[in-house]
Chain A
Amino acid sequence: AQSVAQPEDQVNVAEGNPLTVKCTYSVSGNPYLFWYVQYPNRGLQFLLKYITGDNLVKGSYGFEAEFNKSQTSFHLKKPSALVSDSALYFCAVSPYGNNRLAFGKGNQVVVIP
């Protein structure tokens, strides 16, 4: 069975500081990994994905994520956080060849002005 762990409930960071949102996964086979962001009462917006190739993936709004196979992690990062980055962030995994996504519980990011 596939699963995703986002160990922290909330991440607080000062504006301008680096932001990291952690994600580890468990899936058989080669994983497809995704990050989505959700603003209040809205659907999810796609940020980035890892399928294959370079372990460092760059996405929307200055976010990037690094795939680490040995640690089964896919942490989301942003060098300098903005107040507008405050939202709910979801990591998701899909086994190879299967579009069904399993989501982590989400992390609330609060960027403090």
Chain B
Amino acid sequence: GAVVSQHPSWVICKSGTSVKIECRSLDFQATTMFWYRQFPKQSLMLMATSNEGSKATYEQGVEKDKFLINHASLTLSTLTVTSAHPEDSSFYICSAGRESGLEQFFGPGTRLTVL
């Protein structure tokens, strides 16, 4: 149990385009979902926390208008990177938390490359 999927697993796009990444909890309802960004050989940096049906809470320094987060249901959250630029290239990882537990369950990640 507690499986989280991400789609796509990798994406290459041109500079200026927008990319949407989906995060789904497959076998449980996720009260909270988190979006992280990971640079090569570095740790995960929390970008934002989203709760179903409410606006996401962004970490300091994360541009809300650039990284749009929607948490439409208890099993789906999306991250849209708007007007992507090469510096947005990174590994994006989502996680989901259950109301009954404290650990987060992580998706497999999405590798974004902006040309």
Contacts and interface: CB of A to CB of B under 8 A. Distances in A.
Contacts of B93: 43-44
A45 B4 CA distance: 11
Contacts of A41: 91, 109, 111
B43 A36 contact: no
Contacts of A104: 43
Nearest to B4: A43
A90 B44 contact: yes
B108 interface: yes
B49 A105 contact: no
Interface in A83-113: 90, 94, 99-106
B49 A36 contact: no
Given A34-B103, A99-B97, A43 B108 contact: yes
Say what secondary structure dominates the interface of chain B.
strand
Contact of A106 (B43, B103, B109): B43
A22 interface: no
B109 A43 contact: yes
Interface string A30-45: 0010101000011111
Interface residues of B, number: 23
A100 B60 CA distance: 13
B106 A51 contact: no
Contact of A43 (B43, B97, B107): B107
A84 to B, nearest CB: 18
Given A51-B102, A99-B102, A42 B109 contact: yes
Nearest to B109: A43
Interface in A63-94: 90, 94
Contacts of A51: 102
B42 A99 contact: no
A49 B43 CA distance: 19
A86 to B, nearest CB: 15
